[in-house]
A and B are shown apart, each in its own frame.
Chain A
Amino acid sequence: MVKIKYIEFNGTEHEADVANGLSVMEGAIQNDIPGIDADCGGGMSCATCHVYINDDEWFKKLPEKEMGEDDMLDQAYEPKSNSRLSCQLIVSDDLDGLTVHMPEKQV
């Protein structure tokens, strides 16, 4: 279990305990945290679980993007260089204390 902080676009903060092995996206869905849609259910085929990692140190620490994630991010709402798909961020002890920011909307 690690703590992940999800911050909505309007600034509302949610902290969740997420089990190792789940994705950051699943952590949000299971805890009913708004702002992440995950239409395709984690298949890296919809770009509706898009988050920003505003802390540069954290961004560098995350598992590297696999092939296809950036292609999918091209189709996200307002992607930036610190964008990630939260379905691709698998929770481990290394991610304890991670904060993700949600975009204004997903679609």
Chain B
Amino acid sequence: MIKTDVVIIGAGPTGLFCAHQLGIIGLRCEIVDNLDKIGGQCIELYPDKPIYDIPAVPKCTGEELTNNLIEQIKPFDFNFHLSDRVQELKNENNKWLVKTLNGKEFETPNIVIAGGVGSFEPRKFPTKSAEKYDGKSVLYSIKDKNIFKDKSVVIFGGGDSALDWAIELSNSSKVTLVHRRDEFRGAPASVQKIKELSDNKTIDLITKYSIKDVKGNGSLDSVEIKSESGESKVIKADYVLGFFGLIMQLGPITEWGLNLDKKTIPVNTENFETNKKGIFAIGDICTYPGKLKLILSGFHEGALAARGCFKYARPDEKYRFEFTTASSTIKDRLGVKE
């Protein structure tokens, strides 16, 4: 059990800057994110795209913004819990008990949800029958490639993950690659390699088809694919892999008794607290009259939510407003030597 002042859900720019503000006012936090890296949408969706509306930064990419924010909170040495997701919240004696998917537990008076539009998860096959085999022989990521040795593997998708795994697994498995159109969005070199492997019959390449059904009796036996005009084919398969990118889902957040407005959480604009005491929401996931989904708004929201957290984390102390330019306490926290 980790005791802390605040658990931040989401390591995107808003969560990171809120952590900075907590550090400045002397609170500790732990940051949990479902992705395997820090940065949220900035790093997952548009690491190379320039952003032009960060105050005083005329132009920076999602990756640069993330790296600068990481640099900015370095002095506080906060813990990140990546590739993990907050699953359960329970309130006991005005403390929140937080449990993650990987079994980590936190005790905290404050939770800041900076979850963007939810956690990133792989898009799954639309076919109901695939659910039965999910995690066993229908997979959306690969942990141990050795399980595919000498097996028939059918891979769906046209991006780098699909192409790279088709190339890699073709060394030791019977690979069929299925994609909905003739063009691939993977790296040109990979596309070239796939065409070569298809020409010399190392892999079967089938385009303009998508999944229709998976079949089996207990264990997976074959996968049926269909073209748009209605033709279908059945391919023998021990494993079916789908690589259709990531989607964003609110996930367990919907089960914590928070008021929800579509996919957002209403908050007050004084401290960004939700309808639950000690649970705050900032960034794209929160809503209030006039809300703008801008990174700069998320920064402001994080700064105010941090002060809201202070009240519950230090109930016997009075919060004192200070400037970073003048306060020696803050400079100590930042490790600045003068």
Residues of A within 8 A of B (CB): 37, 39-41, 43, 45-48, 70-71, 74-75, 77-81, 104, 107
Rounded to whole Å, the gap between the CB of B12 and the closest CB of chain A is 13
Q: For the complex, what is the distance from the CA of A47 to the CA of B244, rounded to whole Å?
A: 11
The reply to whether B126 and A77 contact each other, CB–CB distance below 8 Å, is yes
Q: For the complex, what is the distance from the CA of A107 to the CA of B263, rounded to whole Å?
A: 13
Q: For the complex, what is the distance from the CA of A40 to the CA of B263, rounded to whole Å?
A: 12
Chain B residue contacts of A37, Cβ below 8 A: 263
Considering only CB atoms, which chain A residue lies closest to B156 in the complex? Answer: A74
How many residue pairs between the two chains, A and B, have CB atoms under 8 Å in the bound complex?
A: 51
| Interfacial residues of chain B within 156-180, with CB under 8 A of chain A in the complex | 157-159, 179-180
Residues of B within 8 A of A (CB): 41, 45-46, 117, 123, 126, 157-159, 179-181, 183, 185, 210, 228, 244-245, 247-249, 263, 293
The reply to whether A78 and B126 contact each other, CB–CB distance below 8 Å, is yes
Interface centre among A40, A75, A79 (most CB of B within 10 A): A75
Rounded to whole Å, the gap between the CB of B101 and the closest CB of chain A is 19
Q: For the complex, what is the distance from the CA of A70 to the CA of B41, rounded to whole Å?
A: 21
Q: For the complex, what is the distance from the CA of A77 to the CA of B183, rounded to whole Å?
A: 18
Rounded to whole Å, the gap between the CB of A75 and the closest CB of chain B is 4
Q: For the complex, what is the distance from the CA of A104 to the CA of B117, rounded to whole Å?
A: 20
Considering only CB atoms, which chain A residue lies closest to B118 in the complex? Answer: A39
Residue from B41, B117, B157, B247 in contact with A74 in the complex, judged by beta carbons closer than 8 Å? B157
Considering only CB atoms, which chain B residue lies closest to A75 in the complex? Answer: B245
Chain B residue contacts of A43, Cβ below 8 A: 45-46
- Sort A-B residue pairs by CB-CB distance and give the 9 closest, nearest first: A75-B245, A71-B185, A45-B45, A107-B247, A39-B117, A75-B244, A74-B158, A39-B248, A78-B126
